[in-house]
Structure formats: structure tokens, C-alpha cells
Amino acid sequence: MNRVFLPKWMWLTFGLLFVCISILVLMVLITSNTTPEPVVRLSKNVVIIVDNHNYTLSTNAHTVKEVLDEYHIGLSSADRVVPGTGNLIEDQMKIQIIRYFAKTTEEYQRIPFKTVYYNDPNIEIGKQSTVQEGMPGQIKIVKSVTVENGTNVQEKMLSKQIVSNYRTKVIAIGSKPKVQERKYLVYQPQQSIEPVAAEKPQLTVKKVADFNHTFQYEIDSTTLTAYTAGVESTGKSLGDEGYGVTASGAIVKEGQTIAVDPTIIPMGWWVYITGIGYRKAEDTGSAIKGNKIDVYVEDLNVARSFGKKENVAVYVIGPNDPR
């Protein structure tokens, strides 16, 4: 059997490799038994602005979120932090927490009453009489309010409802001419001359043939139109908030509701419209000014065919239902 002898240089190579491996193993063992030095974070001062207070705090935290967690400062989903929670902490950094929340409020507002004046032929010129005292109304407004750090920053109206409508003040202004008693002398021979009073003129009374009811005053040359509760007249559709609700808070009713200028016809008063009948002033309109009346009807086609009627006599009766 032949024996194989390795060259001398190979033996030297193997020896050198063994030495290197031994040194590496020894270094690994030494490294594994050595405890790493801890990383030391320097303390920093930060100013936290929250709930209208400023707090100067010392911290070793690395980020804004860690500072808030360290001091147990809670945040809601709506709150905002400036700078953001992921920002790194710097010495003397200011961290502001902006609190947000929403609330619902109710407020009541006063509705000032209006005053209507009309000429009364039964009262002498220069005199006037209060037919109806005025009374303010009240409206309830519900709002959604967004609050930022205790200050209202945004308001949104949710609903508006008339709690009580105002009562119009009605004043009758005298238009009856003053009758001055005139005296004159009548010559009578051989008799003493004495003053004789002239007869007072007789006032004529106007009679209305269309209806049999007393009224406060008459409005000549009134223009009539018609409207519905729909989108064509009011911009609202069935199901919308306030659909069919008048300016007085009443629900529209065919054969009763009319829209008027409240400075001409008091809200809540009844009138008689020649050729139409009795109606009640329950609504107003942006285009209803002066001697104009909008008559409520349910059907849109009826409103369209109603057209415009001019020079119609209207008799203002009063707050009591004359029917």
C-alpha cells in the first residue's frame, strides 16, 4: 500500500487557517459576554399648551406622542396637536393641543310686531284709535355649534320654529271731515236779528253688496295672484323641512290662507275678497308688497290658470272669523 505525503506548503496553509478560525471564535466569545453601554437621553424642557393653560415640563421622551403619554394627556378623535405627534422633541419646544367638540344649542328670539294704519271714515281727522294692541312673537332656533378651545368657531342652523307669532298693532286714523257749525244772519223786518244755525251736512254710508258684514277698512285696486306649497312657489318639496308652513306658523289651507303685506293687512286678520270670498292673512312673500295678495290653492294647474286679477276690492274685517 502506497502512502501519500502532502507538500510542506499545504501543511502551513492548514495551520494558518486553524489559527485564524481560533482567533475569530475567541472574539465572538468575548463580544457575547460584554454588556453594551446604555444610550443616555438628555432631559429637555417643553411647554405644553392645553385647556387654556401653559405647562413647562421636563422630559426624556423622543417624540411628541411619548411626551403626551408620559404625562397622561388624553386626546379625543377630534382634537389636533401642533406639531404632530410624530415630531421629534426639541428643547424649549411648544406643543399645543387644540380641543374640538360639537354641541347643540337652542335660543329664542323675539319677533317684533308690525303696525298697520288705515283711514277710518267714522273718526274725525286729527284723531286716531287703537283697534288692536300689538304683541311680539317668539321663534326657537336650534343650532349645531363647533367649539375650539372653548370658543365657538362655527355655527350651523338645524331648524327654526315659530313658538308664537306676533300680533299686529292696528291703528285707525280719522278721515272724517270736521263739521264746523256756521252761523249767519237772516234779515227780518221789524224784528230783532238773531243768529240761525245752518244744518249739518249728512254723510253718506257706503253699502257693500257682495257680503253682509261690517269691516274695518277697504283696500281698492288690489292685485291677486295664486300660489301653492310646492317648489314652484316656495322652493320646497313635500318632505322638506317647513313644507306647507306659513310665515305665521299655521299650515296652509285652501279656502282660507292668503299671503299679504303685513303692513297693509294685519297677520291673523280676516278679509273679504270680492269674487273670492273670506280669507285669512296667514302668510307673507318677498314679492307681496303693497296692495298685492297671493291666494293659496293646492293644485299647481289651478294656480297657473288663476293668473293675475287686478283692481279687486278687498274689505279688511278683523281678527274674528266672520264665517
pLDDT along the chain (323 residues), means of 10: 61 74 78 59 85 89 91 88 91 91 90 83 83 88 89 87 85 75 51 44 42 81 93 86 85 94 90 93 90 94 93 90 85
pTM exceeds 0.85, yes or no: no
Tell me the C-alpha distance between 162 and 309, whole Å: 32
Look at the block and give the residue holding cell 312673537.
Answer: 137
Q: Which of 173, 205, 237 is the last residue of a domain?
A: 205
Tell me the C-alpha distance between 315 and 309, whole Å: 16
Q: Read off the amino acid at residue 91.
A: D
Number of neighbours of residue 314 by Cβ within 10 angstroms = 24
Tell me the C-alpha distance between 301 and 122, whole Å: 43
Look at the block and give the residue holding cell 285696486.
Answer: 221
Q: What are phi and psi of 133, to 5 degrees?
A: -75, 145
User: For residue 276, is it within any domain?
Assistant: yes
User: For residue 27, is it within any domain?
Assistant: no
Q: Which of 143, 178, 205 is the last residue of a domain?
A: 205
Q: What does each C-alpha distance from 84 to 94, 97, 105, 214, 323 come to in angstroms?
A: 11, 10, 32, 77, 72
Strands (E), the chain: 44-50, 53-59, 80-82, 93-98, 100-111, 115-124, 128-132, 137-148, 151-164, 169-176, 183-185, 195-197, 217-227, 257-259, 270-273, 277-283, 292-296, 309-318
User: For residue 177, is it within any domain?
Assistant: yes
Determine how β-strand 292-296 pairs with β-strand 257-259: antiparallel
Q: What sign does the dihedral 81-84-88-93 (CA atoms) show? A: negative
User: For residue 71, is it within any domain?
Assistant: yes
Q: Read off the amino acid at residue 261.
A: D
Q: What sign does the dihedral 21-25-30-36 (CA atoms) show? A: positive
- pLDDT given for residue 16 in this prediction: 75
User: For residue 232, is it within any domain?
Assistant: yes
- pLDDT given for residue 202 in this prediction: 37
Looking only at Cα atoms, what is the longest distance across the chain? 201
Residues 244 and 196 in one domain: no
Cis, peptide link before residue 83, omega less than 30° from 0: yes
Task: Report DSSP letters for 135-192, one per residue.
Answer: B-EEEEEEEEEEEETTEEEEEEEEEEEEEE--B-EEEEEEEEPP----EEE---TTS-
- Asked if 286 and 260 touch (Cβ cutoff 8 Å), the reply is no
Task: Give me the residues paired with residue 164 across strands.
Answer: 138
Which three cell numbers mark 1?
500500500
- Asked if 89 and 46 touch (Cβ cutoff 8 Å), the reply is yes
Tell me the chain's radius of gyration from C-alpha atoms: 47
Indicate which CATH number applies to the domain containing 244: 2.40.40.10
Indicate which CATH number applies to the domain containing 51: 3.10.20.90
User: For residue 285, is it within any domain?
Assistant: yes
Nearest of 80, 81, 77 to residue 94 by alpha carbon: 81
User: For residue 4, is it within any domain?
Assistant: no
Residues 104 and 198 in one domain: yes
Q: How many structural domains compose the chain?
A: 3
Residues 196 and 230 in one domain: no
Give the domain range for residue 184. Answer: 100-205
